[in-house]
């Protein structure tokens, strides 16, 4: 009797796993944001092992792609002339736990901040509307998970700890 229960449980697990794997190469994870008259889209176009390749488009035009373990995008603020989003993902390696970019979307253009590394994790992401300058404050932890680093993001400019512009700047998107 117990043997039959084990076989039944194993067959249920295996059939669920097989069902979950059938759509691996299909677009299963995507984001579509309308910002004014513009459309910002992120689509999963391929999956290789634990990594997913996501393609980014603005008003139908391909901008580039990322290859990350997990990807999350959400709107974090709105001003009179722009919408602000955070796009973050896990790297899946032994380097930084997460990477992120702040995206500013207007009717005419879109700006990604350089990649911000969150090696020890993300503490907070906050949109700030200061009438004259809209910015996003990002607080992350270094790899030691104790040292905090603050970033102020205004468009493509990133200030580290409120003083110096980020020295090593890398594009969040890869290009074919």
Q: How far apart are CA 56 and CA 101, in angstroms?
A: 13
Phi-psi map region of 97: left, alpha, beta (phi>0 left; psi -120 to 50 alpha): alpha
Q: How far apart are CA 127 and CA 133, in angstroms?
A: 11
Least confident range from 22-26, 78-82, 112-116, 170-174: namely 22-26
0.75 surpassed by pTM: yes
Tell me the per-residue pLDDT of 98-138, one tens digit each, with 9 for 90 and over.
999 999 999 899 999 999 999 999 999 999 998 778 899 99
Burial of 24 (0-12, 13-18, 19+ CB in 10 A): exposed
Tell me the per-residue pLDDT of 139-153, one tens digit each, with 9 for 90 and over.
999 999 999 999 999
Task: Assess whether pLDDT exceeds 50 at residue 8.
Answer: no
- Please report where in the chains the tokens 């969040």 appear, as a residue: 172
Residue 103 is predicted with a pLDDT of 96
CB 166, CB 156: distance < 8 Å:
no
Q: How far apart are CA 135 and CA 155, in angstroms?
A: 8
CB 141, CB 120: distance < 8 Å:
yes
Task: Assess whether pLDDT exceeds 60 at residue 5.
Answer: no
Tell me the per-residue pLDDT of 29-82, one tens digit each, with 9 for 90 and over.
689 998 878 999 999 999 989 999 999 999 999 999 999 998 999 999 999 889
């Amino acid at each position: 009797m117990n043997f039959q229960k084990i076989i039944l449980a194993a067959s249920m697990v295996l059939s669920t796993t097989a069902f979950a794997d059938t759509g691996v190469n299909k677009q299963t994870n995507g984001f579509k944001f309308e910002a004014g008259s513009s459309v910002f889209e992120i689509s999963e176009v391929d999956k290789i092992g634990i990594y997913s390749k996501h393609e980014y488009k603005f008003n139908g035009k391909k901008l580039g792609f990322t290859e990350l373990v997990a990807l999350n995008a959400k709107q974090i603020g709105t001003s009179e002339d722009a919408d602000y989003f955070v796009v973050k993902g896990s790297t899946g390696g032994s380097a930084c736990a997460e990477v992120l970019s702040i995206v500013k979307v207007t009717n005419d253009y879109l700006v990604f901040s350089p990649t911000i590394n969150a090696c020890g994790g993300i503490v907070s992401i906050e949109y700030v509307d200061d009438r004259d300058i809209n910015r996003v404050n990002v607080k992350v932890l270094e790899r030691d998970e104790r040292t905090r680093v603050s970033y102020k993001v205004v468009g493509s400019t990133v200030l580290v700890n409120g003083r110096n512009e980020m020295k090593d700047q890398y594009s969040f998107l890869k290009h074919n």
